[in-house]
Amino acid sequence: MACISFGKRLVACLLNISEARRKDLVETVARAAIYNTEGVRREGTTVLNIFNDHDYNRSVITIVASIDIIREAILSACERACKLIDMCDHTGVHPCMGAVDLIPIYPLGEEVRVEDCAKEALAVAEGLTERVQGTSAFLFGWADTPLQRGLAQRRKEMGWFRKTADLQAIRPDLGPAPQRRFGLTGVGASPYVMNCNVTINTQDITVGHSIAAAIRESTPGGLPGVQVLALPHEGAVEIACNVESVKGSPPSHMDTGEPWPSFSIDGQPYCHAPASLITARVAELAGRQGISTESTALVGFTPHECRGLAVLALSEGIAEFWKEQRRIRM
């Protein structure tokens, strides 16, 4: 395999499933992405990382392959997850609506176009609702044509942030009204989204909410591309950030001394806020209230790390690459 040319067609799917406490189950779902039902490995596909969070009861499985072959890997993993996870029994502090809660597709290679990702995400959504009877999906990002509404907006429209959603009132884009067992799945495509979680040393969730509101993109003076929740987590409060890539160059008024990671899609420049900036802003806001930060955790990788590790894994034929990552807290 010519790994350099192969890298030009790579995409990543950071599959979010509503289970973390049964790690053997999560690994079974991950293996379904890289092996067929006869146990034969799918060439050109790797799982780079598995992130588990016990309190959230949520896992993120990073699947990478060429856009030309990733669909079957994603759908096989989703089928397995839907078979093994029953949302009627789910508990966890993180908002969620589906056994398979989120299927985002991100371009990594320079030959992957926006249209390619949108088409593939729609095909995955259609495939899921056809292959697992009773599942439903909503579309976001490039797959949500022609509006191309972002994930946060679509989640709000679907009631994802509510503690108890009225499933029968939801009108999904594909499939029937959501059933309790499977819930509702978000499927879409966008520039890469990084997850950065900063833990602050308090149990006061109101402090967390105030910090989250201050750094959220929609707030004047907030951080571009940053969507935030404050959640109770392991006896403290976690500022959980989705760090979306934004089009263009880094904003000049946010010169932190560290360059903003940047890349291009279809010849258009994108960048995202570095984890150090998010950590520093949270530490500043928490410090004003006499509270320190405990730690910062990245869920997975930056776009450059994801592509580099994927090329490494695929060139060396490593399907279960997450086992190489266990020395790192993700």
Query: Domain ranges in the chain?
Result: 10-190+303-329, 193-299
Give the other-Cβ count within 10 Å of 266's Cβ.
12
pTM score, two decimals? Answer: 0.94
Strand order in the sheet with 136-141: 45-53, 58-66, 10-17, 100-107, 184-189, 136-141
| Cβ neighbours for 147, distance < 8 A, ≥ 6 positions apart | none
pLDDT band at 5 (very low <50, low <70, confident <90, very high): low
pLDDT in tens, 266-277: 899 999 999 999
3-state secondary structure of 20: coil
Residue 107 predicted with pLDDT over 90: yes
pLDDT in tens, 297-320: 888 788 999 999 999 999 999 999
130 in Cβ contact with 87 (< 8 Å): no
Contacts 24+ apart (CB under 8 A), 80-86: 80/28, 80/29, 80/32, 81/15, 81/17, 81/19, 81/29, 82/132, 82/135, 82/182, 84/19, 84/25, 84/28, 84/29, 85/17, 85/18, 85/19, 85/25, 86/181
Q: Which CATH class is domain 193-299?
A: alpha beta
Check residue 1 and give its pLDDT.
44
| Cβ neighbours for 249, distance < 8 A, ≥ 6 positions apart | 262, 269, 271
Average pLDDT estimate for 89-114? 94
Check residue 79 and give its pLDDT.
98
Mean confidence (pLDDT) of the chain: 92
Query: What phi and psi values does residue 44 have, to the nearest 5 degrees?
Result: 80, 15
Could you tell me the fold of the domain covering 10-190+303-329?
Answer: Formiminotransferase-cyclodeaminase; Chain B, domain 1 (3.30.990)
pLDDT band at 168 (very low <50, low <70, confident <90, very high): confident
Q: How far apart are CA 171 and CA 148, in angstroms?
A: 17
